[in-house]
Structure 1
Amino acid sequence: MTEHNTTPLSADMDLTPIKPVESELLVVTGMSGAGRSTAANALEDHGWYVVENLPPQMLGTLAELMSRMPQALPKLAVVIDVRSKGLFSDIRESLNALAAGGISFRVLFLDASDETLVRRFEQGRRPHPLQGDGRMLDGIAAERDLLTEMKSSSEMVLDTSIMNVHELGSAVTELFSETGPVVLRLTVMSFGFKYGLPVDANYVADVRFIPNPHWVPQLRPHTGLDQDVSNFVLVENNACEFVDRYVHALEPVLAGYRRENKHYATIAVGCTGGKHRSVAVAVELAKRLAQFPRVTVSTRHRDLGRE
């Protein structure tokens, strides 16, 4: 007769089933020179297991391994880029296969302007991986053409044109190091139309209809971060009504993002130079959006400080 050693159940014992570990799979891609290595380093600093320069065809195998060992690989980031040469053309097919197999993932796409990419390659004294015997701009153009579909279908697009390595690291940290029930991370960005539209904006609000503090001598030297300018923009010219209605219009958008499992979005607010009106409205808009449940909001002033 075998004797079993059992422990009696007590009334205060927690019988809630242990929640299984859920793994996260992040695919990092984008333009060469846009900061993939910096992003990978930031992810690694926050506990992600990072695999760089992986051929897309191996994604399925790695994802299957991750699903079998969720405790060993709870957060896996895979960096895929055109260094995979001919293999890169299969990336869309590989991602579709993951989705068909029920494996959830997110895609972070890093981009930058042609001018910025050229400057970074020249500073590093390295050729573009696709330029061959042509010019650097030829390689950049070929890569943009190759990545067009990938960028348009990516959940998160970060424009790193005016970011240094520290700012990019901070942006990645903000996106992927936070724990808890946060579902959506919003960036509210002010900018100046005369410097061009932000390439990573999901929504763009034009606030050039508001009287410009630039033409008020005592306000011209200041910015939208100063209380006098903010009062002029929001209170004296009733821009708060615009903010109220814009936030109301965004409510179904944010609900849709949650429903579609979208975790990151950028809302851009533009005026002429990105110094007064757009800054004040962006700050106020961020305050209102931060009141939504399970949403974190950060502000970024792209053109503040430019002449």
Structure 2
Amino acid sequence: MSSDAVVPADGEREVQESPDGPGPEPSLRLVVVTGMSGAGRSTAANALEDLGWYVVDNLPPTVLPEVCTQAKENGIHRLAVVLDVRTRSFFEQLPTMFTELAAAGTMPEILFLEAADDVIVRRQESVRRPHPLQGDGRLLDGITRERETIATLRAAADLVIDTSSINIHQLSSRVAHAYGDSADDALRVTVVSFGFKNGIPVDADLVVDVRFLPNPHWVPELRPQTGLSAPVRDYVLAQDGADEFLQRLQELLQVTTQGYITEGKRFVTVAIGCTGGKHRSTAMAEEFGRRLRQVGLATKVLHRDVGRE
């Protein structure tokens, strides 16, 4: 942020005029919300709107550069656009669209909503809505076509959120953590605990394994508790290697943080796993999140498998 920029209480950036005349044009932060049909794009868009973003749904990509220009001229500094396979020729136009936006000084961020096939099937069937790429085939055929079509876009995403095992309130909370404050150039970290027996989180940037620690599951008085309870937390953190592991993990994140920011990546998800996601990973994730917040990193801790049998 330049020295003449200020961030008022409402979170939007303003640029003050210098004594020699008007200052630079306010920058526009643009988020492209996309992903799988049924994965929560509408929920994410609503959450952004609640945070004060100007949200446009299903906009033809060819007019996006002009919309960004109009947004700047009308004092809009945070714009979110929902784009998906309903938009004809979207993926053919995407490279040209992004090139035009970059040339105009706006670098789009991509928020990609993901979910497992079986979850999407249940959601689509519950609303009795056909998949946009289903055609005359089965619902799974449409999901497969969509996943293949947007694979490149998913790989380029700045933030991927897997909504398979979270509800709309949890999704809104994750969107608020990522886009709800004014520190545009700061890294935001999400720490997720999970159980390997339930699969690795597909939206993780970094996955670590804490199954080298003794398992509280085999301590009768600790078994019914979770890593959120003080006895389990104290037991896990007192084990040989626990503190050193967290120190090394924090050092690793410190090494990569500046590189992430330089490359325009504002979000990173660190997944910490144990066998079931109830004891060791939960306690370690809580402690890791606490340490990151202590050094000034905006950090949210989630526990994917706590409460799951």
Give the alignment's TM-score, normalised by structure 2. 0.89
Letter in 2 for 1:27: V
Of 265, 276, 291, 1:288 maps to 291
CA distance in 1 between counterparts of 2:241 and 2:175 reads 36
Which of the two has higher C-alpha Rg? 1
Structure 1 residues without counterparts, runs of 5 or longer? 1-13
In the alignment, structure 1 residue 250 sits paired with structure 2 residue 241:
no
CA distance in 1 between counterparts of 2:288 and 2:30 reads 32
Equivalent residue, structure 2, for 1:11? none
Equivalent residue, structure 2, for 1:132? 135
CA distance in 2 between counterparts of 1:226 and 1:191 reads 17
Q: Does structure 2 retain, via aligned residues, the 8 Å contact 1:128–1:140?
A: yes
Equivalent residue, structure 2, for 1:76? 79
CA distance in 2 between counterparts of 1:98 and 1:181 reads 18
Per the TM alignment, residue 236 of structure 1 is displaced from its structure 2 partner at its CA by 3.1
Question: Please, which moves more after superposition, 172-181 or 254-263?
Answer: 172-181
Equivalent residue, structure 1, for 2:36? 31
Q: Does structure 2 retain, via aligned residues, the 8 Å contact 1:211–1:237?
A: no
Of 267, 270, 288, 1:267 maps to 270
Equivalent residue, structure 2, for 1:116? 119
Equivalent residue, structure 2, for 1:238? 241
1:232-256 Cα shifts (integer Å, max 9, x gaps): 1111333111111111122111121
1:21-68 Cα shifts (integer Å, max 9, x gaps): 33211111111111111111111122211111012222222123234x
Of 30, 36, 59, 1:54 maps to 59
1:103-156 Cα shifts (integer Å, max 9, x gaps): 222111111111111010011011111011111111001000011000000111
In the alignment, structure 1 residue 201 sits paired with structure 2 residue 204:
yes
Q: Does structure 2 retain, via aligned residues, the 8 Å contact 1:182–1:296?
A: no
Of 145, 158, 163, 1:160 maps to 163
Aligned length: 291
Letter in 2 for 1:205: V
Task: Please report the RMSD computed on the Cα atoms of aligned residues, expressed in angstroms.
Answer: 1.9
Equivalent residue, structure 2, for 1:300? 302
Letter in 2 for 1:301: H
Give the alignment's TM-score, normalised by structure 1. 0.89
Letter in 2 for 1:119: R
Q: Does structure 1 retain, via aligned residues, the 8 Å contact 2:39–2:120?
A: yes
